[in-house]
A and B are shown apart, each in its own frame.
Chain A
Amino acid sequence: MSRVLILRLGTLVSLPISLRFLLVAPALLIFLAISAYAALNIGATATSLQDALSALFLPLDSLERPARAIAQFRMPRLGVAILAGAMMAASGYLLQVVSRNGLADPGILGLSDGAALTVMAAGFFFGLMPGGALSLLALGGALLTALVVLGLGRHLLAGGGIILIGLSINIVLGSLIEMILVSGSAMNFAQLMNWSRGTLAAVDATDLGLLGLWFALLFPLALLTSRLLQPMLLGDEPAQALGVRARLVYVFYVLLAAAFAAPVVAVCGPVAFVGLMSCYIARRLIGDRPTEVLITGMLAGGLILLWADTIGRSLFQPVIISAGVMVSVVGVLSFILAASLGRLQSPNWRD
C-alpha cells in the first residue's frame, strides 16, 4: 500500500488520503478539462478558438454561428458524455462493491438492458416520450433487474456466480429487445441497433440538464455514504461486526447504482463496459481505497466516453460512429492495454 496522508480538521475530521490519489486524481481532472476543451474545438464545421471561447463565456442569445452551434450542440454533447461516463462508472463501482466482484458493471449485470427494454417497450407501445418520464421508466427497469440479479446471486457471491446470473439475465433481456428490433423495417432496425449500443447523437441541453440534476442529487449521496463502502467490501459479517447494518446498506447501494445508470440509459442508451473499464483502470492506478476508486473511476469513465464520442463523430466525417460502438471498440482495446500494463503491479482485489 502506498503512502498515506492524513487530513485533519480539528479533532472531528480525520481523512486518510493516499499520496497516489492526490497525484492521480488532479492529473485526470486536468486531462479531462484539456480533453473537453479539445472536444469543443472538434466538429463537422471548422471553428476558431475564439468561437469556442465565446460559446463558453457569452450568453447564447448573443452568439452567431458557428459559436452558436458550438454552444447549442457541442457543449451539451460533451457535457452529457462526461456525466454519463462518470455515472456509469459510479454505478459500476457500487455494483462491484455490493457483489464483491471486480467485474461487475451495469451492462454486465443486466441493469442497462433492463432499463433499455423498458424504454424501448415504452417507445414501441406509446410512441415518443419526454426524457424525464423515460428516465423514471428506465429506473424502474434497472431497479427491477438489479433486484432480480442480486436477489438470485446473493448466495453465489463467492464464485463470482453473480456475474453469470447477470449475463444470463442479460441474454434473456437481449432476446426480448431483439423481438422489438426485428418488428420494424431495416432502417428502423439499424437505428435501434445503434441506440441499443448507446449514442449521443440526439442529446441536447435538456438532456444535459436532466443528467446534471440526477448527478447533483446522487453524487453527494454517494460521497457522503462512501465510508460504508469499505466495510461492505469485507463481507456481511465483518460489516455487521463493525456496526454497519449490512442488509440495509446493500439495498441502498443497489438502489443508488440503478439510479446512476437509469438516466444515462434513458438519455443515450445502454453504453456497455464503461463502468467495468473505468473502475478497473482506477484500481490499477490508485489501489483499493473505495472513496478514491469511486472518484478516480468516475473521472476515467467521463474521459472514456468523451473521447469515444469525440473520435466517433470526427474521425470519418461525415460518417458518424456512435459513441457506444466506439466505446466497445476503443474501450475493449484500451482495457486490454491497461490490463497488460497493470499486470506489472497488480493490487489484490478481494472476491
Chain B
Amino acid sequence: MKAWLIPAPLVVLLVLSALHLTLGAASIDLGVILAAFTAYDPTNYAHVVVIFQRLTRLAVALYAGAALGVSGLLLQKIMQNGLVSPGTLGINAGATTFVVLGVFLLGLSGPGLFLPALLGGIISVMLTLLVSRLLTGQGDPKLNLVLAGSMIGALFSALTTFVLSMDPDSFGNIIGWIVGDIGNFDYQALAPMAPIGLLALIAAAVMSRAVDILVLGDEQAAVMGVNVRLVYGGTLLVAIVLAVSAVTVVGPIGFVGLVMPHIARILVGEIGRLPLWLCLVGGAALLTGADILARLLMAPRVLNVGTVMGFAGGLVFLALVIFGTRRSER
C-alpha cells in the first residue's frame, strides 16, 4: 500500500483550490481573501464576492469533478473497458436532452431538472448497450461500446439542437450550461444534489469489494457468493446517478470520468478503495484545474470549462489510445 497516496492528492487539491479562490474578474488581495474567511464582513463587497461567488463556484467544481471521477471509475471497472465514461457512453448527452426538454416543455429549472436528467441518463445507457450489442462482429467489442456511445450521444445532441432551434431566445440564459460551464450560480442546484451524490458515494464505497470480485469474471464472482446481476446493475445505477447529479449542476462536462480512472490505475491499480479515493480527490482537482485554465487562457474572456476539458481531454484520450495500444502490442 502506498500510504503517501492518501494525503498527497489532498495537498494538490488544496493548492489548486487556493489558486482558484484568488482568480476572478475583480482583483482582490490575498489578505482580503483570508479576511473574508477569518473575519467576514457582509458590508464589504469583496468579502461577499469571495464567499458567495468564488467559494461557491469552487464547491461546485469540487463536487462535479469528484462525482464524475468516481462515476467514470465505476463504469470502467464493471464494464472492464478503459474507454468508457459518462461522456463516452452518452449519459451526458442524454441527460442534457432531457433537461432542455424539461426547460422547454415544462418550464422546469434548478434541482427540478434532476429527475428528467436521470431518466435521460438511464435511457441513453440502455440505448448504448443495445446498439453496441448490434455492432457485435464489427471488431473489438470494447470499441463497439464507445462507438455505440458516440452514436447515441450524436442522436441526443441532435435532439438538443432541434429543441434549441425552436426558440433560441428562451434558452439564452442556459447556453453556458449546455456546453458545460460552472456558473456563479450553480451552487443553488448543488445544495439538493449533494445529499444524493453523497449517498451514491457511500454506496460506491460499500459495494467496492463486490465490484472487485466482479472484475474477476462472472463465474468466479458467482462462486464467491456475489449476485452478479445485482452488483452490476447497482453499480451502473450509482454511476449514472453520480454523473447525472453533476450534469444537472454544471452541464455536460466530459473527460474527468475518462481520464481520472487511468491516472488512478497507473498509480495504484484498480482493486480496493484507494483508486476510489484517488478518483474522488483527483477528479475534483482536475476540474478545478480546468476551471482555472478556463479563466486564464483567454482572459479577460472566460471560456467554458466544458470546452477546456474537451480540448485537453481529447488530447489525453489520444495519448491514451496511442500509448495504450503500443503497450498492449509489446
Which A residues lie at the B interface, using CB under 8 A? Answer: 101-103, 108, 152, 156, 159-161, 163-165, 167-172, 174-176, 178-179, 181-182, 185-187, 189-191, 193-194, 197, 272-273, 319, 321-322, 324-325, 327-329, 332, 335-336, 339-340, 343, 346, 348-349, 351
Q: A103-B139, A163-B143, A187-B168 are in contact. Are A332 and B311 (CB under 8 A)?
A: no
Q: Residue A176 contacts which of B139, B152, B157, B311 (CB distance < 8 angstroms)?
A: B311
**Tally of A-B Cβ pairs under 8 angstroms:** 150
Whether B154 and A193, one on each chain, are in contact in the complex, defined by CB atoms closer than 8 angstroms, is no
Q: Residue A325 contacts which of B83, B143, B159, B176 (CB distance < 8 angstroms)?
A: B159
20 contacts between A and B (CB under 8 A): A160-B140, A164-B146, A165-B318, A169-B314, A171-B254, A172-B318, A178-B310, A179-B307, A181-B179, A182-B179, A182-B307, A186-B175, A189-B175, A190-B168, A193-B164, A194-B161, A321-B162, A327-B158, A336-B134, A339-B135
Residues of B within 8 A of A167 (CB): 146-147, 150, 317
Chain B residue at minimum C-beta to C-beta distance from A161: B325
Whether A103 and B138, one on each chain, are in contact in the complex, defined by CB atoms closer than 8 angstroms, is yes
Q: A102-B138, A163-B143, A172-B310 are in contact. Are A190 and B164 (CB under 8 A)?
A: yes
Chain A residue at minimum C-beta to C-beta distance from B134: A339
Q: Give the docked Cα–Cα distance between A46 and B226 (Å).
A: 65
Say if the beta carbon of B131 comes within 8 Å of chain A.
yes
Say if the beta carbon of B29 comes within 8 Å of chain A.
no
Say if the beta carbon of B315 comes within 8 Å of chain A.
yes
Q: A103-B138, A190-B168, A329-B155 are in contact. Are A172 and B315 (CB under 8 A)?
A: yes
Q: Give the docked Cα–Cα distance between A48 and B179 (Å).
A: 45
Say if the beta carbon of B137 comes within 8 Å of chain A.
yes
Whether A332 and B139, one on each chain, are in contact in the complex, defined by CB atoms closer than 8 angstroms, is no
Whether B130 and A336, one on each chain, are in contact in the complex, defined by CB atoms closer than 8 angstroms, is yes
Q: Give the docked Cα–Cα distance between A343 and B164 (Å).
A: 36
What 5 pairs across the A-B complex have the smallest Cβ distances?
A175-B310, A328-B158, A172-B314, A171-B314, A190-B168
Whether A175 and B307, one on each chain, are in contact in the complex, defined by CB atoms closer than 8 angstroms, is yes
Whether B139 and A351, one on each chain, are in contact in the complex, defined by CB atoms closer than 8 angstroms, is yes
Say if the beta carbon of B300 comes within 8 Å of chain A.
no
Chain A residue at minimum C-beta to C-beta distance from B155: A332
Chain B interface size band reads 35 or more
Q: Residue B168 contacts which of A186, A327, A332 (CB distance < 8 angstroms)?
A: A186
Chain B 207-226 interface 0/1 with A at a Cβ cutoff of 8 Å (1 = within): 00000000000000000000
Residues of A within 8 A of B25 (CB): none
Query: In angstroms, how far is the closest chain B Cβ from the Cβ of A2?
Result: 19
Residues of A within 8 A of B151 (CB): 273, 332, 335
Query: In angstroms, how far is the closest chain A Cβ from the Cβ of B165?
Result: 5
Q: A102-B138, A189-B175, A339-B135 are in contact. Are A164 and B321 (CB under 8 A)?
A: yes
Chain B 167-182 interface 0/1 with A at a Cβ cutoff of 8 Å (1 = within): 0110110011001000
Whether B307 and A168, one on each chain, are in contact in the complex, defined by CB atoms closer than 8 angstroms, is no
Whether A193 and B169, one on each chain, are in contact in the complex, defined by CB atoms closer than 8 angstroms, is no
Q: Give the docked Cα–Cα distance between A191 and B155 (Å).
A: 18
Q: Which of B273-330 contact A (CB under 8 A)?
A: 303-304, 306-311, 313-315, 317-318, 321-322, 325, 328
Q: Give the docked Cα–Cα distance between A159 and B321 (Å).
A: 11
Q: Residue A187 contacts which of B140, B169, B308 (CB distance < 8 angstroms)?
A: B169
Residues of B within 8 A of A161 (CB): 321-322, 325
Say if the beta carbon of B166 comes within 8 Å of chain A.
yes
Residue of B138, B317, B328 with most partner-chain A CB within 10 A: B138
Residue of B147, B171, B321 with most partner-chain A CB within 10 A: B321
Q: A108-B147, A197-B161 are in contact. Are A171 and B135 (CB under 8 A)?
A: no
Q: Give the docked Cα–Cα distance between A179 and B308 (Å).
A: 9
Q: Give the docked Cα–Cα distance between A175 and B131 (Å).
A: 26
Whether A160 and B143, one on each chain, are in contact in the complex, defined by CB atoms closer than 8 angstroms, is yes
Whether B147 and A103, one on each chain, are in contact in the complex, defined by CB atoms closer than 8 angstroms, is yes
Whether B317 and A328, one on each chain, are in contact in the complex, defined by CB atoms closer than 8 angstroms, is no
Q: Which of B98-152 contact A (CB under 8 A)?
A: 130-131, 134-135, 137-140, 143, 146-147, 150-152
Whether A165 and B322, one on each chain, are in contact in the complex, defined by CB atoms closer than 8 angstroms, is yes
Residues of B within 8 A of A165 (CB): 318, 321-322
Query: In angstroms, how far is the closest chain B Cβ from the Cβ of A141?
Result: 17
Query: In angstroms, how far is the closest chain B Cβ from the Cβ of A106?
Result: 13
Chain B residue at minimum C-beta to C-beta distance from A102: B138
Residue of B140, B146, B171 with most partner-chain A CB within 10 A: B140
Q: Residue B314 contacts which of A175, A185, A189, A335 (CB distance < 8 angstroms)?
A: A175
Residues of B within 8 A of A159 (CB): 139-140, 143, 325, 328
Whether B310 and A319, one on each chain, are in contact in the complex, defined by CB atoms closer than 8 angstroms, is no
Residues of A within 8 A of B169 (CB): 186-187
Q: Give the docked Cα–Cα distance between A306 and B53 (Å).
A: 50
Q: Give the docked Cα–Cα distance between A164 and B145 (Å).
A: 11
Q: A164-B83, A349-B138 are in contact. Are A336 and B131 (CB under 8 A)?
A: yes
Residues of B within 8 A of A186 (CB): 168-169, 171-172, 175
Q: Residue B154 contacts which of A179, A321, A332 (CB distance < 8 angstroms)?
A: A332
Residues of B within 8 A of A272 (CB): 154
Query: In angstroms, how far is the closest chain B Cβ from the Cβ of A279?
Result: 12
Query: In angstroms, how far is the closest chain A Cβ from the Cβ of B98?
Result: 15
Q: Give the docked Cα–Cα distance between A332 and B236 (Å).
A: 24
